[in-house]
A = this chain, B = another copy of it.
Amino acid sequence: MILYNIALSGNCHKVRLMLSFLGIEFEIHDLDLGTSEQSSDAYLKLNPFGQAPVLDDNGTVIRDSQAILVYLATKFGDKKWWPESSDELAEIISWLSTAANEIQNGPARLRVHYKFGRPIDFKQATDISNKVLRIIDTHLSQRIWLVGNKPTIADIAIYPYLALAHEGHLDISSYEHIQTWKTRFESLPNYLAMPGFSE
C-alpha cells in the first residue's frame, strides 16, 4: 500500500492517522512540490485533481481524504471507526461533507494563506471558520465524539485542520468543548502528531 503524501497537508494527516490507528503498514511517497510532481502527467493519472492524498492499495487507487478514510474503515477497520446504523452512517457523511466544504473553505484556506502565502477571500474564509467552529463547539457540548459514543472517521476528518487552526491565525482556545475533544482525540492509542508538532 502506497500513500502519496504531503507532510504538511492536513488532508494527508487524516490518512496517516487512520493508518496508524488501524496499525496498517504502508509505504510513503512524498510528493516533490519543488518539481510540481502533483501536476505531472503520471500523478494526474492517479488523481486528475492534482491533489494529495492518494492511496494506492495494490492497484486500487483512491483519491480524496474522506474517501480514503471510508475505504480503510470498511476494508480493514473491522467495524471500529465505522457506524453501526444507517442513522449514524448518515451523520458521519454529513461531517465528511463539512470536512470537504466548510473546513476546507474556512480553517484550511486561512492556513494556506498565512503559512504558504496563497491569496484568498479573507472575509469569506473567516466568516465560514467562525460559523463552523461555533457549530462544532455547540455540537460537542453534549457529546464526547462527533457521532455516536465512539471515535469514528468523522472525528478523523474534522480533527487535523482544527488542530492546525492557529497556523491560519484562528484562535480556538475559547471553544472549550473543541479543546476537550481535541485533547481526547490526541490521547487515543497510536495517535500521530503532525510533523514538527510536539503538543
Interface residues of A (CB under 8 A from B): 48-49, 60, 62-68, 70-71, 74-75, 86-87, 89-94, 96-98, 100-102, 104-105, 121, 124, 131, 135, 138-139
A96 to B96, CA, bound (A): 9
- For A62, list chain B residues within 8 Å (CB): 87, 90-91, 94
Q: Is the CB of A90 within 8 A of B104?
A: no
| A91 contact from B67, B96, B104, Cβ within 8 A | B67
Residue on B nearest A139 in the bound complex, by CB: B48
Is A87 in contact with B64, judged by CB distance below 8 angstroms?
no
Complex CA–CA separation, A86 to B89 (angstroms): 15
In addition to A48-B135, A64-B97, A93-B93, 18 A-B residue pairs with Cβ atoms within 8 Å of each other are A49-B135, A62-B90, A63-B94, A64-B98, A66-B93, A67-B91, A67-B93, A67-B94, A70-B89, A70-B90, A70-B93, A71-B87, A71-B89, A71-B90, A75-B86, A101-B105, A105-B105, A121-B121
Chain B residues near A68 (CB, 8 Å)?
Answer: 90
**Which 7 A-B residue pairs are closest in the complex by CB-CB distance?**
A71-B90, A67-B94, A64-B94, A67-B93, A97-B100, A100-B100, A75-B86
A93 to B124, CA, bound (A): 26
A94 contacts which chain B residues (CB < 8 A)?
62-64, 66-67
Q: Which of A89, A91, A97, A102 has the most CB of B within 10 A?
A: A97
23 A-B contacts, Cβ less than 8 Å apart?
A: A48-B138, A48-B139, A49-B102, A49-B131, A60-B87, A62-B90, A64-B93, A64-B94, A64-B97, A67-B90, A67-B94, A67-B97, A70-B93, A71-B86, A74-B90, A93-B93, A93-B96, A96-B96, A96-B97, A100-B100, A101-B104, A105-B105, A121-B121
